[in-house]
Chain A
Amino acid sequence: MKEIARLAVYNLYHRKLRTFLTLTGVVIGVASIVGLIGAAEGINSVITGEIEKFQSNVIAVVPGEFKLQFSPLSQYEGMKAGKLSERDVEEISKIPGAETVMPSVSSRVRVEYGGETMILTVFAADPEKFREIDTIGVLEGRYFRSGREVLLGYSVAKELFEKEIGIRKKVRINGVEFRVVGVMNKAGGLFRAFDTMIYVPKSSAKKYLELSGITEIDVKVEEGYDPGAVASRIEEKLKELRKGEKDFTVISPDFSRSIANQILSAMQILLGGIAGISFLVGAIGISNMMFTSVLERTREIGIMKAVGATRRQIMAIFLIESGVIGFFGGILGVVFGYGIGEGFLALRQYFVEKSGVQTVVERPHVLISPELVVAALLFSFAVGILAGAIPARRAADLQPAEALRYE
C-alpha cells in the first residue's frame, strides 16, 4: 500500500504541468467560495459588533410605524412629532424594569458659528436623565445642566465647521446664543448620526427654541431585567393606550439586531449563490481535468494490469492522486480565498466611500471560521476523489488488452 501511495505521488510529481493545472482548477473553486463567504462573515461581524457596542440596555420608542430601511438609527429627521405624550411616559415609567424614562424632543435648527451656518439636529432632554442614559460619554467639558448650555456632538465640534468649536465658545441656535459646555466622544460606526447632533436641556429648548412635545422616549432597563421582555411590555402598554393602533415603534437592541441580520442574510444568500456557482464551475473544471488525465493514461493502466495490478490497486493509485490534489487544492484555496475576500472587501470599501451611502466606517476584514475551513477541505477532497474515481473505474474495468490498444 505504501508503494502504491508512493507511485501516486510520483505520478503527480512527474506530470507537473497537469498537476499544476488541475490544482489551479481546485484552488479557484475553493478560493472563491471561501473568499466570498469569509467576506460576508466579516461584514456580518462588524455590523453585529457595532450594534452590540452601544446601548445594549436602552430601548427607544419613536413615533410612526418603522419601515425596514437600511440604517434604522439615522431616521430621526423623518419622524413626525407629537404622537408620543406625557401619558405614555408616565405609563412606561410604571413598567417594572424601566429604570430611567427619558422623553426628548429633536428638531432641525440653524446653528451659527464663526460666520458659518449649518442646519443640524438638536436633541433636547432632561439633564439628569440624559447623563444616566447616555453611553457615548463626554470627551471635553461636561454634560449640560440648565439655561443656555449646549453639548456638541463630536463631528459638530471637530469637523463640520471650518473652525473647531472648543468649550466656553458661543454658538447661535436659531438666533439665540448658547454656551458650549462640552463635546461628546466620537460614536462613529452605525451611530455616526449622534456625532452630528447637538444636545440641550429640554427646558431651555422650550423656552428659547420654542420646541415642545415628545419625539422620542428612551428607556434604560434596570439590571437583571431582560431588555427584550421590557420592550414587549412597553409595546403592549402603548398599544393598549392607543386602543390597538400601532403608530409608534419600539427599538430594542434585539430589534436593531434583527434588522441588521435580515440585511446580512440577504447579502449572504447572494454571495453564497455566487460562490456556489463558482464552485460548480471549479468542480466541473476538476472533473474535466481528472477525466482527461485518466483517459490519457488508459494505456498506462493497461500496462499496469498486464504486469499484475489489480483493479483495486489501480483505483487506489488514482484515488490517492485525485485526493491529494483535492486536499492540497483545498488548503491553497483557503489561503487564496482569504486574499480574494480581502480584495473583494477593499473593492467594496472603495465603492462605498465613493458613493457615501453607508454609515459603517470600520473596515470589515475576512473572517474564516474553522467550520468554513473544514467544509471547504472536505468538499474539495470529495470533489477531487469523485472526479478521479469515475474515469479511473472505467479504465480499470477495461480488459487490459483493450486498455493497451488505447491511443
Chain B
Amino acid sequence: MPVVECRNVWKIYEPKVPALRGINLKVDSGEFISIVGPSGCGKSTLLNLMGCLDVPTRGRVLIGGCDTRKLGDAELSRLRREKIGFVFQFFNLIPALTVLENVVLPTVFSGRKDPKKAKKLLEAVGLGSKLRRKPAELSGGERQRVAIARALVNDPEVVLADEPTGNLDSETGAAILDLLSSLNRETGVTLVLITHDPEVAKRAERIIYMKDGKIVREVRK
C-alpha cells in the first residue's frame, strides 16, 4: 500500500488559478522521490496537499490508504503528527522556544512529551551542544537540522521537504542533503524532496518532473 497517494488531484486557487491540474502519484514506503520543475509549477502546492496542510479542490489524497476527505480536524492533526514530518525552506521554527523545545513540541501535541528522544535526535544531527539556544542564535544550516530533528521526533512514515536547501549555501545544503538521504537509507523513512537543482534531484530513486500543474515526466533509476 502506498504511503501517500494522489488521485486526479486539482487545486484551484481563488480566483481561478489552477495550480494543480489532475495529479496522479503514488509514493511507496521507503522511497526517496524528488520533485523538480520551474518556479510556479505547483510543487509546493502538491507537497502541502500530500502533507494534509491544505485540501484539494478536486480529487483525493490518501494517506496509508485512508481518504483524507472524510477526516475531521482531530484525525487530520493526528495524521500530521504521526505519519508526516515537514521540513520547510524557511525552517519555520518557533522563535520563542529553544532548540530542544522546538523539537519536543510535536510530542507535546501528541500527549507523549519525549525530551529524551528529542535530545537524541538533536545529537544525531550534530546539535547536542546547542540545545538551549534560540533559533535566532543558529546558522541557517543548523536551523534546518533542528527542523529535520523536529520532523523525525514522532517517527513519521514520510518526510516532506520543500526546498530544504533553498536558503543555504551549497556546502551547507549538501550536508543537509546527506543527512536526509542517509536517514532515508538507514531508517527507511520515505522522503519526498522538492528542489530546483538537477544535481540534487539526481540523488533520488525517482524524479518527478512537473510543469504547469501537471506531472510531465518520471524518471526511475
Contacts and interface: CB of A to CB of B under 8 A. Distances in A.
Interface in B65-85: 73-74, 77-78, 80-82
Contacts of A10: 96-97
Interface stretch (B46-54, B179-187, B196-204): B46-54
B48 A401 contact: yes
A399 B54 contact: yes
Contacts of A4: 108
A77 interface: no
A402 interface: yes
Contacts of A308: 77-78, 80-82, 106, 109-110, 154
A7 B108 contact: yes
A305 B82 CA distance: 13
Interface string B32-68: 0000000000000000100101110000000000000
B92 interface: yes
Interface in A1-37: 3-4, 7, 10-11, 14-15
Interface residues of A, number: 26
B94 interface: yes
Interface in B106-154: 106, 108-110, 113, 150, 154
Interface string B80-110: 1110001010001110110000000110111
A404 B77 contact: no
Contacts of B88: 404
A305 B97 CA distance: 16
Contact of B73 (A306, A311, A402): A311
Contacts of B77: 305, 308-311, 313
Contacts of B108: 3-4, 7
A300 B97 CA distance: 11
A68 interface: no
Contacts of A404: 53, 88, 92
Interface string B162-204: 0000000000000000000000000000000000000000000
Nearest to A13: B96
A307 B81 contact: yes
B55 A399 contact: yes
Contacts of B53: 305-306, 399-401, 404
A124 to B, nearest CB: 83
A278 B45 CA distance: 48
Contacts, number: 68
A18 to B, nearest CB: 11
Contacts of A3: 108, 113
A303 interface: yes
Interface residues of B, number: 27
Contacts of A305: 53, 77, 80
A310 to B, nearest CB: 4
A10 B100 CA distance: 14
A307 B150 contact: yes
Interface in A283-310: 299-300, 302-310
B150 to A, nearest CB: 7
A304 B54 contact: no
A306 B82 CA distance: 11
A338 to B, nearest CB: 34
Q: Taking each of A299, A304, A308, A310, which has the highest tally of chain B beta carbons within 10 Å of its own beta carbon? A: A308
B54 A402 contact: yes
Interface centre among A11, A15, A302, A400 (most CB of B within 10 A): A400
A308 to B, nearest CB: 3
A399 to B, nearest CB: 5
Contact of B74 (A302, A310, A402): A310
A306 B80 CA distance: 6
A15 B96 contact: yes
A311 B74 CA distance: 8
A310 B73 contact: yes
A269 B109 CA distance: 50
A300 B94 CA distance: 7
A317 to B, nearest CB: 10
A52 B122 CA distance: 75
Contacts of A299: 92
Contacts of A7: 108
Given A300-B94, A404-B92, A307 B54 contact: no
Contacts of A306: 51, 53, 80, 86, 92
A216 B78 CA distance: 87
A15 B94 CA distance: 13
B96 A14 contact: yes
B105 A304 contact: yes
Given A3-B108, A401-B53, A307 B86 contact: yes
B109 A304 contact: yes
Contacts of B80: 305-308, 400
Contacts of A309: 77, 109
A306 B106 CA distance: 9
Contacts of A302: 92
Contacts of B96: 10-11, 14-15
Interface centre among B92, B93, B108 (most CB of A within 10 A): B108
A391 to B, nearest CB: 18
Interface string A365-407: 0000000000000000000000000000000000111101000
20 contacts: A3-B108, A7-B108, A10-B96, A300-B94, A302-B92, A304-B105, A305-B53, A305-B77, A306-B53, A306-B80, A306-B92, A307-B150, A310-B109, A311-B77, A312-B74, A399-B55, A400-B53, A401-B53, A404-B88, A404-B92
Given A303-B92, A310-B78, A313-B77, 6 more contacts: A4-B108, A10-B96, A302-B92, A308-B80, A308-B82, A311-B77
Q: Which 6 residue pairs are nearest across A and B when measured between Cβ atoms? A: A308-B81, A401-B54, A14-B96, A310-B77, A401-B53, A400-B53
